[in-house]
Structure 1
Amino acid sequence: MLRKIENKNMGRSNLGWLQSVFHFSFAEYYNPDNINFGVLRVINDDLVQANTGFDTHPHRDMEIVSYVVEGELTHGDNMGNKKTLTRGSVQYMSAGTGVYHSEHNFGNKTLRFLQIWILPDKEGYKPNYGDHEFQWNDRRNKWLHMVSSKEGNAPVKINQDINIYSLQLDKGNESSLPVKEGRQAYLVQIEGSAEVNNIKLDDRDAMEIVEEDILIEAKEISHILVLEMKKQD
């Protein structure tokens, strides 16, 4: 099963310093038919203006992954972590029993990043932070496995049975990905345009995939993110 989600039908918010596209219900955007996709609870496509950001605030019992698309993302938290990440890098935080953190753009151009919230496999984990600076070419015309469960083999490991892959596919190139029985996936066309099993996706569109292998053909240079997970009934 494949279901295309056009970005024009997603939720939106404009606070001036922050412009967001909401893939799922979040903040002032609420759709009772669009709360989550399996354990995937939030994908916010955020544009953060220079010298602004999210001041210190709390979270608990959520696995939070940030994927930097453009610009600089600077993280700070009450565990003593501080790091600035750039395009193609991943930041991970297990909020667990409770954590305070901030996310800012101290650069001189707009920051774009995907803020991803994943439900953990249980509550009450000890809070944890990690990040990884991937080389951009590691995803050029091949899948880069960035995030996995603790039992998986990706550089970033979280408390849930989910895999996150990124891909830059050059125009005219193809790449396939299996979504096996008992599994489902959520695909984000971050940049560019492509066809997924002959269904056209444009910049910022998305697709739900359930138990169906996909073949992607880039119509122009395409930057894609896929979150593959256990199927939820």
Structure 2
Amino acid sequence: MIDIRPFASLGGANHGWLDAKHHFSFANYYDPARESWGNLRVWNDDTIAPQSGFPPHPHRDMEIITYVREGAITHQDNLGNLGRTEAGDVQVMSAGTGITHAEYNKEDVTTKIFQIWIQPTQTGEKPSWGARPFPKDDRAGQFVVLASGFADDTDALPIRTDARVVGATLKAGETATYRLGNDRRGYLVPATGAIEIEGKRIAARDGVAISDQPTVVITALEDSEIVLVDAA
């Protein structure tokens, strides 16, 4: 099953400094048909104004993956972690037993991120944070694992859940294949460009919920940057 969720159909709110769009029910947006997708609970498409951001706030028992599309995000938490993650790179926060953090756009340009929350398989563990670069050239024409709960994905940022976050960059006309498996759910969003799956066009920032689809074949109609969550 391929269920396209156009960007215009997403919930959200514009707070001035933050223009947030929600692929799933979040904050004041509630849609009983879009509460989660397997263990994927949140996919927010956030546009953050320069010199603004999220002040300190707590989380627990959630794997929070931030994919930076434009600009940069600066993270600071009560564990002493401090880091700046740039466009194309990824940060992961395992909230565990509890963590308080802030995320700011300290740049002079707008920052755009996907923030993805996945319910953990392992709970009651010490919170942690990490980030790493993922050069787009390494993802050219193929999917690369960005964050993973599987030990075999040694080059990915670790998360404590039965899921993977993968990314690819495709030139117009290129095709990439992702083997999802019969019992898995996928959720895919092009950060930029436009793609085609089974003859259906998906524009930038549209969501695609995928199930009962062992293999997903994606063809780029334009130069495209793609993020996909492989969920339990």
Give the structure-1-normalised TM-score.
Answer: 0.96
C-alpha separation in 2, matches of 1:202 and 1:139: 20
C-alpha separation in 2, matches of 1:218 and 1:52: 34
C-alpha separation in 1, matches of 2:39 and 2:54: 24
Contact 1:179–1:209, Cα closer than 8 Å, also in 2: no
Within a 5 Å distance, the mapping from 1:122-137 to structure 2 comes to 122-137=122-137
* Aligned partner letter, 2:18: L
Q: In the alignment, which residue of structure 1 is the partner of 2:196?
A: 195
C-alpha separation in 2, matches of 1:21 and 1:97: 28
Contact 2:186–2:209, Cα closer than 8 Å, also in 1: yes
* Aligned partner letter, 2:85: L
Q: Once the two structures are aligned, what percentage of the paired residues are identical?
A: 37
C-alpha separation in 1, matches of 2:149 and 2:55: 29
C-alpha separation in 1, matches of 2:152 and 2:101: 27
C-alpha separation in 2, matches of 1:191 and 1:223: 5
Q: Secondary structure at the match of 2:64?
A: strand
Post-superposition shift, 1:179?
Answer: 1.7
C-alpha separation in 2, matches of 1:122 and 1:181: 23
Which deviates the most, 178-187 or 98-107? Answer: 178-187
C-alpha separation in 2, matches of 1:33 and 1:196: 22
Q: In the alignment, which residue of structure 2 is the partner of 1:173?
A: 174
C-alpha separation in 2, matches of 1:66 and 1:137: 20
Q: Secondary structure at the match of 1:34?
A: coil
Q: In the alignment, which residue of structure 2 is the partner of 1:27?
A: 27
C-alpha separation in 1, matches of 2:139 and 2:198: 21
Q: In the alignment, which residue of structure 1 is the partner of 2:218?
A: 216
C-alpha separation in 2, matches of 1:226 and 1:150: 16
Structure 1 residues 127 and 150: alpha-carbon distance in aligned structure 2, compared to 1, 3 A threshold: farther
Runs of 4+ in 1 over 4 A off after TM superposition: none
Which deviates the most, 133-142 or 39-48? Answer: 133-142
Post-superposition shift, 1:47?
Answer: 0.4
Count of aligned residue pairs for this structure pair:
230
* Aligned partner letter, 1:152: D
* Aligned partner letter, 2:157: V
Q: In the alignment, which residue of structure 2 is the partner of 1:113?
A: 113
Q: Secondary structure at the match of 1:138?
A: helix
Post-superposition shift, 1:123?
Answer: 2.4
Q: In the alignment, which residue of structure 1 is the partner of 2:164?
A: 163
Post-superposition shift, 1:12?
Answer: 1.7
Contact 1:195–1:219, Cα closer than 8 Å, also in 2: yes
Which deviates the most, 46-55 or 205-214? Answer: 205-214
Structure 2 residue ranges without an equivalent (≥5): none
Within a 5 Å distance, the mapping from 1:143-158 to structure 2 comes to 143-153=143-153, 154-158=155-159
Contact 2:37–2:231, Cα closer than 8 Å, also in 1: no
Structure 1 residue ranges without an equivalent (≥5): none
Q: Secondary structure at the match of 2:28?
A: coil
Post-superposition shift, 1:144?
Answer: 1.4
Post-superposition shift, 1:183?
Answer: 1.3
C-alpha separation in 1, matches of 2:182 and 2:33: 24
Q: Secondary structure at the match of 1:168?
A: strand
C-alpha separation in 2, matches of 1:211 and 1:31: 23
Contact 1:71–1:107, Cα closer than 8 Å, also in 2: yes
Q: In the alignment, which residue of structure 2 is the partner of 1:225?
A: 227
Post-superposition shift, 1:151?
Answer: 2.2
